[in-house]
């Protein structure tokens, strides 16, 4: 019998280092760190990310609906944190006179539509996507190093030890669900991981595209 290697989150990161680097290292983040990002570019990201997080809330809620009871604690904690995060986004937008009722740009819309399509896939695929989406921000906001004000607050939100711990718990749950999955489901999870990485890279890049 052929021995099929078990897919884990760590294996995914090892298999696609370039894709993951591009998802988490971007001039947008380096310019936040240096304080040289153009305010209108930051505002584009902020507005679009709020729209993304509203859809991500639905993705997380769908994940909870598909999860085993033993995973509820971590996912409910995530949903609770998102309630605060959405309020925080509204505060950050108000400080900058931003209108959050704006339309999603094509990049944001594509990512949200893909996410919705993952919600009907097996739970292991959803758990892998959930982990990858959160890890992208957890690493992305930390990798450039200490950020200057006002961007330090954003780096702290996704880089703080509590959030890092949450992402580790998501990894554990994703690994557990992948371990109990068929090879077909594991391949689906691998494809979705690659898509998350591509979408994250495109999302950073969107800040540099003039708003139509």
Under the binding rule (CB under 6 A), the answer on residue 137 touching ligand MP5 is yes
For residue 212, give the 3-state DSSP assignment.
coil
Q: Looking at beta carbons only, is 171 or 200 nearer to ligand MP5?
A: 200
Nearest to 189 by CA among 1, 2, 11: 11
Of 20, 28, 42, 56, which one interacts with ligand MP5 (CB under 6 A)? 56
Q: Looking at beta carbons only, is 32 or 136 nearer to ligand MP5?
A: 136
CA distances from 28 to 1, 68, 117, 140, 189 (A): 48, 37, 28, 10, 28
Under the binding rule (CB under 6 A), the answer on residue 131 touching ligand MP5 is no
| Dihedral in degrees, nearest 10, Cα atoms 165, 198, 28, 171 | 0
Could you give the CA distance from residue 207 to residue 1 in angstroms, rounded to a whole number?
50
Shortest distance, position 7 Cβ to ligand MP5, whole Å: 22
85 to 104: interface string for ligand MP5, x by CB under 6 A: x-------------------
| Residue numbers at the binding site for ligand MP5 (CB under 6 A) | 49, 52-53, 56, 82, 85, 133-134, 136-137, 200, 203
């Amino acid at each position: 019998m052929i021995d099929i290697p078990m897919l884990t989150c760590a294996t995914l990161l090892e298999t696609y280092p370039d894709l993951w680097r591009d998802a988490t290292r971007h001039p947008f983040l380096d310019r936040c760190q240096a304080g040289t990002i153009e305010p209108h570019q930051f505002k584009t990201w902020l507005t679009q990310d709020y729209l993304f997080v509203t859809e991500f809330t639905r993705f997380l809620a769908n994940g909870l609906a598909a999860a085993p009871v033993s995973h509820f604690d971590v996912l409910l904690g995530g949903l609770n944190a998102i309630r605060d995060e959405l309020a925080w986004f509204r505060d950050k937008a108000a400080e900058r006179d931003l209108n959050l009722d704006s339309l999603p740009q094509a990049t944001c819309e594509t990512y949200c539509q893909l996410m919705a399509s993952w919600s009907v896939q097996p739970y292991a695929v959803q758990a892998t996507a959930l982990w990858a989406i959160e890890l992208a921000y957890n690493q992305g906001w930390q990798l450039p190093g200490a950020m200057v004000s006002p961007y330090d607050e954003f780096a702290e939100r996704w880089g703080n030890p509590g959030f890092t711990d949450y992402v580790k718990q998501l990894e554990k749950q994703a690994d557990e669900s992948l371990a109990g999955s068929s090879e077909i489901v594991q391949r689906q999870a691998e494809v979705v991981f690659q898509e998350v990485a591509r979408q994250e890279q495109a999302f950073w890049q969107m800040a540099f595209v003039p708003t139509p």
